[in-house]
Amino acid sequence: MRARVGVVLSAPPSRSPVREYAFELALCVHLEETTDWVVARQLGGSVASPGGRIVDVVGLVPGPGFDRRAAVTAATIPPLALESDVGVGTSVRPERAFSCSSSVARRVADRAVEVGFFEADHRGGHRVVRRAVRYPEDWFAELVAIENKPDLGSPGDLEAQLRTDVSLALFDRVVLATESYVTRAHLNRIPEGVGVWRFDPEDGVKEVVREPDSLSTAATGVEPVDAQPLRTDVEFVAPDEKARVRRRVAERAYGKGWRPEPPGCTHATVTADGRPYCARFDRVVDPGTDCGEGCSAFEAADPPAADRAAHRADRTPWVRDPDGVARRQTGLDHFS
C-alpha cells in the first residue's frame, strides 16, 4: 500500500527471524568468498522424519568426481531417477524401472530427460529411457551443516537440534555460527563434536572458536522422532539409507543455491553479491516476510534485474551452462 503524504515511514519492527535472515545471507556470501564449496540454504536434514529438521546452510565440498557431475546439468537430478533401475547400457520403460506409480515414473523420467541425465527413445510402440552417463558417487567429498543463531541469549531449541545432527551424523561436519561472544558456559551447552564460529555479518570476519569433529556418516545413525517430558523416541538409521539421503541433499544443494528472488517493489534492488536489498530502509530484506502489502513503503513494481545464476557461477564451482552428456535429447512428449 502506498504511503500517504504526511505519514512518517518507519522500517518494519526488528524481529529475530529478520536478523537471522540477514545474518544467514551474509554468511553465505562469506563462504563463497573463502571456500570452494557450493553453498545452499534451507535443506532437509533428517531421514526417519522427513521435514523434521531443516538445516540453515549446507556447504557441499567438491570431490574427485565433481567435474563429471557438473558436466551433466546445472539443475538437481531427480532423486527418484537416481534411485531407479534405469541404467546406462539398456533402455527400459519408466513404468518398470521405478518403485512408484506409473504416472510419477513418467513424470520423473520426463524431468530426467529434460535435465540431460536420461536419454529417451521409442521402441516397439513404447517410450524407453536410459541413463546418459554413469553417476559419479564421489562427486562430493563432504556435506557441512551450519546452524545459524546470531543471538545465543535466545537459543530456542538449538541444543536439541545440534544433538540430533551429531547423533544422526547425516552431515560430515556440523557448525554453529553466531554473532554473540561465546563464553565457556555457551560451549558447555553445545554438544561435543559441533564446531563454533563467531561471525560478524557487517565486516564479514569469521573467528573459529572451536573446530568441528568429523562425524561417522558411514555408521548407523540415531534420530530422535518424538520427544516427551520423560522419554524420547528414536529410530536407528542404516548407513545405506543415510547415503541415499546424503545424495539427495547434495543434489538439492547443487541445484538450489541460496540466493532468493528479489521482491517486486520500486524500492527493491540487489547487492553486488546478489542479496535482496531495500533502498528505502537501507538494509537486506527477506522478500517472503518483509515485503508486500504489510510494509508501509511498499510500491508494487517489476522485480529488479538480478542474474542469480551469473552471481553463483562467478563465485562457486557450480557450472551454469554445461555442455551436457546426453547424445539424444529426445522429447518424451513426442511419444505420449
Q: pLDDT tens-digit profile of 95-124?
A: 999 999 999 999 999 999 999 999 999 888
Residue-range definition of the domain harbouring residue 51: 16-67+137-256
In a domain, 288, yes or no: no
What average pLDDT does the segment 20-33 reach?
96
Q: Are residues 195 and 226 in the same domain?
A: yes
| Domain match, 128 and 149 both | no
Q: What is the CATH number of the domain that holds 327?
A: 1.10.10
pLDDT exceeds 50 at position 333:
no
Distance CA 286, CA 25 (A): 10
Residue 233 grid coordinates: 523416541
54 with 305: CB under 8 angstroms? no
Model confidence at 335, pLDDT cuts 50, 70, 90, reads: very low
Give the C-alpha separation, 78 to 206, whole Å: 35
Q: Are residues 62 and 118 located together in one domain of the fold?
A: no
Q: Does 26 lie in the same domain as 147?
A: yes
Domain membership flag for residue 94: yes
Task: Indicate whether 175 and 232 sit together in one domain.
Answer: yes
> Longest C-alpha distance within the chain, in Å?
74
Q: Do 168 and 242 sit in the same domain of this protein? A: yes
Shared domain for 90 and 203, answered yes or no, is no
- Residue 107 Rama label (left phi>0; alpha psi -120 to 50; beta): alpha
Quick check: 181 and 207 in contact, CB under 8 A?
Answer: no
**Closest by Cα among 17, 14, 19 to 179:** 19
Q: Which residue, 209, 226, 256, sits at the end of a domain?
A: 256
- Say yes or no: 247 and 152 in one domain: yes
Give the 3-state DSSP-derived string for the chain, with helices as H, strands as E and coil as C: CCCCCCCCCCCCCCCHHHHHHHHHHHHHHHHHHHCCCEEEEEEECCCCCCCCCEEEEEEEEECCCHHHHHCCCCCCCCHHHHCCCCCCCCCECHHHHCCCCHHHHHHHHHHHHHCCCEEEEEECCEEEEEECCCCCCCCEEEEEEEEECCCCCCCCCHHHHHHHHHHHCCCCEEEEEECCCCCHHHHHHCCCCCEEEEEECCCCEEEEEECCCCCCCCCCEEEEEEEECCEEEEEEECHHHHHHHHHHHHHHHHHHCCCCCCCCECCEEECCCCCEEECCCCEECCCCCCCCCCCCCCCECCCCCCCHHHHHHHHCCCCCCCCCCCCCCCCHHHHC
The answer as to whether 303 is a domain residue is no
Q: Which of 231, 256, 281 is at the close of a domain? A: 256
Domain boundary among 256, 284, 302: 256
User: 27 in a domain, yes or no?
Assistant: yes
pLDDT tens, 134-159?
999 999 999 999 999 999 988 778 99
**Are 44 and 90 within one domain?**
no
- 169 falls within a domain: yes
Please tell me the predicted confidence (pLDDT) of residue 174.
98
- 53 lies in the same domain as 170: yes
Number of structural domains in the chain:
2
What would the pLDDT profile of 243-272 be if each residue is shown by its tens digit?
999 999 999 999 999 999 999 999 999 999
Average pLDDT, the chain: 89
Q: What pTM was estimated for this model as a whole?
A: 0.89
